[in-house]
Amino acid sequence: MSISEQPAADQASGERPGWPILQQPRGFVACLGSLVFAVLFLVGATAALTTPATTDMVTFVALMLCAAVSVEGVRRLGQPRGISHDLLGAWWFPVVLLLPPIYALLAPLPVFVLLQTRVRWAWVHRRVFNACSVALCGFLASVLWHGVHAGDPIAGLGGTSDASSSLLSVDGVVLAVLCCMAFTGLNAAMIAFAARVSDRPERGRSTALDREAIMVDAVELCVGITVAILAQVSLLLLAIAIPPTLLLQRSLLYQQLQIAARTDPKTGLLNAPTWEQAAVKEISRARSTQGRAAVLILDIDHFKRVNDSYGHLFGDQVLLGVATTIGQELRQSDLLGRFGGEEFVVLLPGSDIEEAGRAAERLRARVGDLEIAVDDVPVAITVSVGVAVAGDHGNDLVELLTAADLALYRAKETGRNRVCLPAGRPGLGGHIPGPREGHLPGSTEGHLPGSAPAQRPSGDIT
């Protein structure tokens, strides 16, 4: 598992500004610097304790060639954004168990720096972090493995010649499982910590602790130990390990790409088509049971000014921060999606006009409390919200989106940072009109009870 190697916006636009590491939060920079220093120090220290052996080098090269085949085999499928899961552990774990710890430090170099460059372009600092994280976790697991066999952790730094042979015993396999579990757990913890200090919680909905990730890690562990046992018997048996590993990897990526096709890459929320499909079903269900439902459209105030003033990378942080804040305030049954640009849409099943108004006002207030810093200078963020309720402002999704869009436009026209209802039920022609259609110039009616205008002029970004 690795942290997202794809930037949110600049990769899509083809921009590659210089020294992007300087735009990262200080916590992430400090974390990355510490990892690089630790790996370089350990390489130097263990090199002096390791006795070179031709068989070890041949085994290392063979495993790296298998990793190259695995990476090349899935290259044409691409990889989704966000935290990605792969089966490269099938080749990490044999290095950890069969070779001295120094090889665990060196293994990520050809895979991340050379091989995965063919799969996707990535910011150098993210690729370096992934390589160092895997290297350090693999080293610690290898030291644990060899240290137990040597009876001394210090002696385990240089590796033990008889450690790999224990893979042919039950006790050795059990110990290998425990060491590989330690590798997986530590790597997941480092990924989570890096995501936290980088202020990018990787909203891919595939966190290090969800059920799917645990299942993938378990499969990866089993395949890795199986490959290690085969390599211990004979390196030629690695040839029969490559096809099933490739098949598992392709199946895994196919599932991840399906999920990625349903989500917005910048925020991890449902994208517009997926949200619309789910919303249509929910509204139809509400109509058939004579229930209620409400639609909210939230628009970040002066978002273009944010991008123009602070850059698109900061704009992406704003989008992610607003998406996270909104998601934390919603119920599990609510549907949240990104509708494009700086607009978000929410479907509130079972909500009447009063409940929808309270929910919209709560979201507006929570986002208003959100502050994202630029060079330690906080920038205030506000949203305008349009609300439409099934039965009052429309009977299907097109009508509700049209009404909520008109209400949003009225909120923008009357000062922003507020919640509004549509002035009246809009006439429809089976399409979603632009924001100016149906606007009532000079109208001030339609505000929800309790949704006061902004109390602070600084609520808009300036």
Q: What are phi and psi of 204, to 5 degrees?
A: -85, 5
151 — pLDDT class (breaks 50, 70, 90):
confident
Closest by CA position to 435, among listed 396, 391, 401, 394: 401
What is residue 432's predicted lDDT score, i.e. its pLDDT?
36
227 — pLDDT class (breaks 50, 70, 90):
very high
What is residue 208's predicted lDDT score, i.e. its pLDDT?
45
Q: At what angle do helices 124-150 and 170-197 cross, to 10 degrees?
A: 150
Given a cut of 50, whether residue 440 has pLDDT beyond it is: no
Q: Which residue has the higher pLDDT, 311 or 429?
A: 311
Q: Which residue has the higher pLDDT, 29 or 301?
A: 301
Given a cut of 90, whether residue 139 has pLDDT beyond it is: yes
Alpha carbons within 13 angstroms on the beta-carbon side of residue 373 total 8
CATH match for 272-459 among 1.10.1040.10, 3.20.20.70, 3.30.70.270, 3.40.605.10: 3.30.70.270
3-state SS assignment for residue 377: strand
Compute the mean pLDDT over every residue in the chain, rounded to the nearest whole number: 78
For 127, the enclosing helix (H) or strand (E) is: helix 124-150
379 — pLDDT class (breaks 50, 70, 90):
confident
3-state SS assignment for residue 79: coil
Segment 46-72, tens digit of pLDDT: 998 888 899 999 999 999 998 888 877
Question: What is the token pair recorded at 128?
Answer: 């370096």
What is residue 273's predicted lDDT score, i.e. its pLDDT?
85
Segment 324-377, tens digit of pLDDT: 889 888 988 898 998 878 899 999 998 888 899 999 999 999 998 887 776 667
308 — pLDDT class (breaks 50, 70, 90):
confident
Question: What is the token pair recorded at 354?
Answer: 């009063």
Given a cut of 60, whether residue 36 has pLDDT beyond it is: yes
433 — pLDDT class (breaks 50, 70, 90):
very low
Over its C-alpha atoms, the chain yields an Rg (Å, rounded) of 27
Q: What is the 3-state secondary structure (H, E, C) of 93-105?
A: HHHHHHCCHHHHH
202 — pLDDT class (breaks 50, 70, 90):
very low
d(CA 66, CA 115): 11
Query: In the chain, what are the domain boundaries?
Result: 10-262, 272-459
Q: Which residue has the higher pLDDT, 230 or 461?
A: 230
Report helix, strand and coil shares of the chain as percent, to nearest 5: 60, 10, 30
d(CA 143, CA 145): 5
Give the strands of the sheet with 293-300, arranged side by side. 335-340, 343-349, 293-300, 383-389, 419-420
Given a cut of 60, whether residue 409 has pLDDT beyond it is: yes
Question: What is the token pair recorded at 279?
Answer: 């919303």
Given a cut of 50, whether residue 427 has pLDDT beyond it is: no
97 — pLDDT class (breaks 50, 70, 90):
very high
What is residue 234's predicted lDDT score, i.e. its pLDDT?
92
CA 97 to chain centre: 30
What is residue 306's predicted lDDT score, i.e. its pLDDT?
83
d(CA 128, CA 32): 8
Residue range 457-462: mean pLDDT, rounded:
33
Residue 427: CB atoms within 10 A of its CB come to 10
Q: Where are the alpha helices (DSSP H) in 201-271?
A: 211-233, 238-262
3-state SS assignment for residue 338: strand
CB distance 221 to 184 below 8 Å: yes
Question: What is the token pair recorded at 271?
Answer: 């994208």
What is residue 9's predicted lDDT score, i.e. its pLDDT?
38
Measured over the CA atoms of residue 408, residue 414, residue 417 and residue 419, the dihedral's sign is negative
98 — pLDDT class (breaks 50, 70, 90):
very high
For 389, the enclosing helix (H) or strand (E) is: strand 383-389
Q: Which range has the top average pLDDT, 254-258, 288-292, 299-303?
A: 299-303
